[in-house]
Amino acid sequence: MKNSQETNTDTISEEKYTSEVLIDIKNLKKSFGRLEVLKDISLKLRNGENLVVLGKSGSGKSVLIKCIVRLLNPDGGSINLLGKEVNSIKGKELSEIREKIGFLFQSGALYDSMTVKQNLEFPLVRIKKDLKEAEINKKINEVLENVGLADVLEKMPSELSGGMRKRISLARSIILDPVIMLYDEPTTGLDPVTSDEISELINSVQKKYKTSSIIITHDIACVRITADRIIMLHEGHVYAEGTLAEFEASDDPLIMSFFK
Amino acid sequence: MKKLKILNLKKAQSLATAHSIKLSEDTLDQKERANGFFQEVGDMALFIKQIFKETFSRNFEFKEFLRQCYEIGNKSLPLIIITGTIMGLVLTIQSRPAMAKFGAVTMLPGMVAVSLIREIGPIITALICAGKIGSGMGAELGSMKVTEQIDAMEVSATNPIRYLVVTRVLAATLMLPILVLFADAFGFIGSWIGVNIKGDVSLVLYIFQAFGSITFLDFFPALVKTFLFGAVIGIVGCYKGFTAGRGTESVGKAANAAVVLSSLLIIIVDMIAVQITDMLS
């Protein structure tokens, strides 16, 4: 296992993913007033991998991925996303790069006033404007099938269970065929069985859509199912980095408190 | 004795220090409050600038704009009709004794018409819409903010200002004058009923008397200010929803602040509009 200064990931199997770096974060800093949430974060996401970011509540995990898509503006450091410096782009260029990223929000963030179908076609009709209705319907059915749901098209989000909302939200995130998936606590608020189903779904989406993912979580069951590599955040820094096996074998008290 | 003096001096010093700390804290509080006020004014100015920018950009969300027009216009109509009718009725009943004292009961339709068109119709409709539409916008957008729906929209490469705010502000700006016209029309009907409680005036005669008293200068400035009232309701409702904090409590606060601020601004805009109209006429 590496400490915070060593970001080299050469201990991980090279079979699953290539060395191409899709996200390269260096010395990221973010504060809210006097509260420094991210003090100095550096990490890389490589093509094809599932990178789990682990940490206690309030350790800045969600802030980190919101900085990646510029929902929050970092105070310092750099984020290179698919070859572009996120902090220096705006307008159309930022929209174009966001189209390549799927974001699953902790709450699902389905639009309450729209049906499932309207939720799914919302990004599609705005970004792929030349698609015909038959093609849109085909794409919607395809993503619904991939998340294991059918016959919910005309339902409102309020009529769905927590697990179903997560699946629909995931379907909406993958409908634009993203290159990178960002999951913000995908299993929070779900029962253990549904949590495992969602975690399996993350792996299945990765295989089908060839995505690379950053998964923010503190759910160890989810970590065990999805993680290729793990980074632990603590007090605004990268506390530890390594594989699942290395984390499970660690005798560090903080890491053990998660994996016991 | 000497010791007592020293003790008193120490006590006075500590009291002075405590007092000075309290004054410093009060000053800081006042400074923070002042900063907060100016920051909010600045933020709202930037928000309005963004609305203007997105209004004239390409990819206008026409379908959503029509939906908002329906939500704001059609769904507020029953409330406006009821209020308008009662407004006209009450105004007529209340004014009748005073008019009767001067033997000017026949001027009642004209007086009520001028009051409704120039002031009561626009201001009452705007205040009702500030409560209904403004709070709805504040609560809906606030709730979308809290549940990360606005973030989700932004991440799906859709500009939330263009989709959520511009459509609502334009719909409110366009629908409010129409609602005011309905309120005025039903106010006339209410007033006609009021006149007929103690008299006998046909609807045709009533309308002839009422419209005979109204000039273009009564109608046009009132119409212009209703567009401004609509814009105020839309902008304030959306701004308060859009800047809601985290947590469900902030949704209620956003809705409440939207109503309070838009009502206050409507009255201020009305005061300015009346002054300008008075100067011009």
Per-residue pLDDT at B24 exceeds 50: yes
> What φ, ψ does residue A224 adopt, rounded to 5°?
-65, -35
- The set of residues, in sequence order, having a beta carbon less than 8 Å from that of A11 and lying 6+ positions away, is A2, A242, A243, A246
pLDDT at site B102? 87
Helices (H), B102-202: 108-115, 121-129, 135-146, 149-155, 160, 167-197
What H or E segment, with its residue span, contains residue A142?
helix A133-146
> Cα B146–A172–A82 angle (5° rounding)?
95
pLDDT at B5: 52
Specify the DSSP element, H or E, that contains B49: helix B2-55
Q: Does A79 score more than 60 pLDDT?
A: yes
Q: How many contacts does A have with B, using Cβ atoms within 8 A?
A: 50
Q: Helix or strand or coil: residue A202? A: helix
CB contact A46 to B (< 8 Å): no
What does residue B80 show for φ and ψ, rounded to 5 degrees? Answer: -70, -40
Q: What's the mean pLDDT in A249-255?
A: 89
Do A239 and A232 contact (CB within 8 A), yes or no? yes
How far is residue B260's CA from residue B113's CA, in Å, rounded to a whole number?
Answer: 29
Contacts of residue A106 in chain B, CB cutoff 8 Å?
A: 148
Would you state the pLDDT for residue B4?
A: 45
Mutate: best of A73, A100, A101, A126, partner B, most B CBs <10 A? A126
Q: What is the pLDDT of residue A92?
A: 84
Q: What is the pLDDT of residues A39-71, one digit of tens each?
A: 999 999 999 899 999 988 888 899 999 999 999
Does the beta-carbon distance from B148 to A127 stay under 8 Å?
A: no
pLDDT tens sequence across B154-193: 988 788 999 999 999 999 999 999 999 999 999 999 999 9
Instruction: Find, among B216, B197, A247, the residue nearest to A239 by Cα.
Output: A247
Is B144 in Cβ contact with A123 (below 8 Å)? no
pLDDT of residue B1 exceeding 70, the answer is no
| Domain extents in chain B | 1-56, 59-280
Residue A69 to residue B148, Cβ atoms within 8 A: no
Region A66-78 average pLDDT: 92
Distance separating alpha carbons of residues B234 and B176, to the nearest angstrom? 10
Contact A105 B148 (CB under 8 A): yes
State the pLDDT at residue A233.
92
Checking if the pLDDT of A34 tops 80, the result is yes
A163 confidence band (pLDDT: 50, 70, 90): confident
Q: List chain B residues with CB under 8 Å of A110.
A: 149
Distance from CA of A249 to the nearest CA of B (A): 37
Residue at token pair 């929000």? A105
Give the separation between CA B219 and CA B116, rounded to whole angstroms: 10
Tell me the chain A residues in contact with residue B158 when contact means C-beta distances shorter than 8 Å: 122-123, 126
Which DSSP helix (H) or strand (E) runs through B27? helix B2-55
DSSP H helices, A158-217, are 162-174, 192-209
Contact call for B157 and A95, based on CB within 8 A: yes
A106 contacts B156? CB cut-off 8 A: no
Indicate whether B66 pLDDT > 90: yes
Q: Are B223 and B126 in contact (CB under 8 A)?
A: no
List A residues 218-237 in contact with B (Cβ-Cβ < 8 A): none
Which structure tokens are listed for B71? 């939500």
Joined together, the tokens standing for residue A46 give: 């490589």
Q: What percent of chain B has pLDDT over 70?
A: 91
A69/B152 Cβ within 8 A: no
Chain B residues with CB under 8 Å of a chain A CB are 140, 143-144, 147-149, 151-158
Contact status of A123 with chain B (Cβ, < 8 Å): yes
Distance CA B24, CA B43 (A): 28
Q: A181: nearest CA in chain B?
A: B155
Distances (CA, A) of B264 to B22, B42, B133, B229, B259: 33, 18, 15, 11, 8
Q: What would the pLDDT profile of B119-153 be if each residue is shown by its tens digit?
A: 999 999 999 999 999 999 999 999 999 999 999 99
> How many residues appear in chain A?
260
Chain A residues whose beta carbon lies within 8 Å of the beta carbon of residue B153: 111, 122
Q: What is the predicted pLDDT for the residue at A191?
A: 86
Q: In the block, which residue shows the tokens 């009450």? A: B90
Interface predicted TM-score (ipTM) of this complex, two decimals:
0.86
Q: Of A34, A67, A113, which to mutate for an interface test with B (greatest number of B Cβ within 10 Å)? A: A113
The answer, yes or no, to whether residue A196 has pLDDT greater than 50, is yes
